[in-house]
Amino acid sequence: KWPKQVTIKEVGPRDGLQNEKTAISTEDKIAWINQLSKTGLTYIEITSFVHPKWIPQLSDAFEVAMRIERAPGVTYAALVPNQKGLEKALAAQVDEVAVFMSASETHNRKNINKSIEETFPVLEEVVRAAKQEGKTVRGYVSTVFGCPYEGNVSVEQVIRVSERLFDMGIDELSLGDTIGVATPKQVQELLEIVLKRFPKEKLAMHFHDTRGTALANILISLEMGITTFDSSLGGLGGCPYAPGASGNVATDDLVYMLHGMDIATGIDVGRLMEAALFIQEKIGRPLSSRYLQTISM
Piece of the chain touching ligand HMG by CB under 6 A; list 75-83, 125-133, 149-157, 187-195: 75-83
82 binds ligand HMG (CB under 6 A): yes
Binding at 68: pick from Mg ion, ligand HMG, none (beta carbon under 5-8 Å per type): none
Q: Backbone dihedral region of 177: left (phi > 0), alpha (psi from -120 to 50 degrees) or beta?
A: beta
State the nearest-atom distance from the C-beta of 184 to Mg ion, in Å: 19
Binding at 49: pick from Mg ion, ligand HMG, none (beta carbon under 5-8 Å per type): ligand HMG
Report the alpha-carbon distance of residue 234 to residue 216 in Å, rounded.
18
State the nearest-atom distance from the C-beta of 208 to ligand HMG, in Å: 6
Report the interhelical angle of 269-283 vs 26-36 (nearest 10°).
170
Q: In the range 5-64, which residues lie near Mg ion by CB under 5 A?
A: 15
109 binds ligand HMG (CB under 6 A): no
Instruction: Report angle CA 157, 165, 72 to the nearest 5 degrees.
Output: 130
Q: In the range 14-73, which residues lie near ligand HMG by CB under 6 A?
A: 15, 18, 48-51, 54-55
Q: What is the four-CA torsion angle of 149, 24, 295, 267, rounded to 10 degrees? A: 80
State the nearest-atom distance from the C-beta of 123 to Mg ion, in Å: 17
User: Which one, 81 or 227, has the nearer CB to ligand HMG?
Assistant: 81
Q: Which of residues 43, 145, 229, 241 is near ligand HMG by CB under 6 A? A: 241
DSSP code of residue 68: S
210 binds ligand HMG (CB under 6 A): no
Residue 205 three-state SS: strand
State the nearest-atom distance from the C-beta of 48 to ligand HMG, in Å: 5
Catalytic site residue from 86, 101, 137, 239: 239
State the nearest-atom distance from the C-beta of 174 to Mg ion, in Å: 9
Chain centre to alpha carbon of residue 264? 20
Report the alpha-carbon distance of residue 198 to residue 228 in Å, rounded.
14
State the nearest-atom distance from the C-beta of 68 to ligand HMG, in Å: 20
Tell me the HSE value of 216 on the side-chain side, using a 13 A CA sphere. 13
78 binds ligand HMG (CB under 6 A): no
Helix runs in the chain, H state only: 26-36, 61-67, 83-91, 105-112, 116-132, 155-168, 184-197, 214-223, 251-260, 269-283, 290-296
Report the alpha-carbon distance of residue 95 to residue 85 in Å, rounded.
14
User: Which one, 33 or 158, has the nearer CB to ligand HMG?
Assistant: 158
User: Which one, 19 or 82, has the nearer CB to Mg ion?
Assistant: 19
The residue whose Cβ lies closest to ligand HMG is 176
Report in angstroms the alpha-carbon separations of 191 from 52, 106, 243, 244.
35, 24, 26, 25
Q: In the range 127-156, which residues lie near ligand HMG by CB under 6 A?
A: 140, 142
Q: What is the four-CA torsion angle of 167, 140, 29, 231, rounded to 10 degrees? A: -130
252 binds Mg ion (CB under 5 A): no
Instruction: Assess whether 147 carries a catalytic annotation.
Output: no
Residue 89 three-state SS: helix
Residues designated catalytic? 239
Name the residues that contact Mg ion, by CB under 5 A. 15
Name the residues that contact ligand HMG, by CB under 6 A. 15, 18, 48-51, 54-55, 79, 81-82, 84-85, 100, 111-113, 140, 142, 176, 178, 206, 208, 239, 241
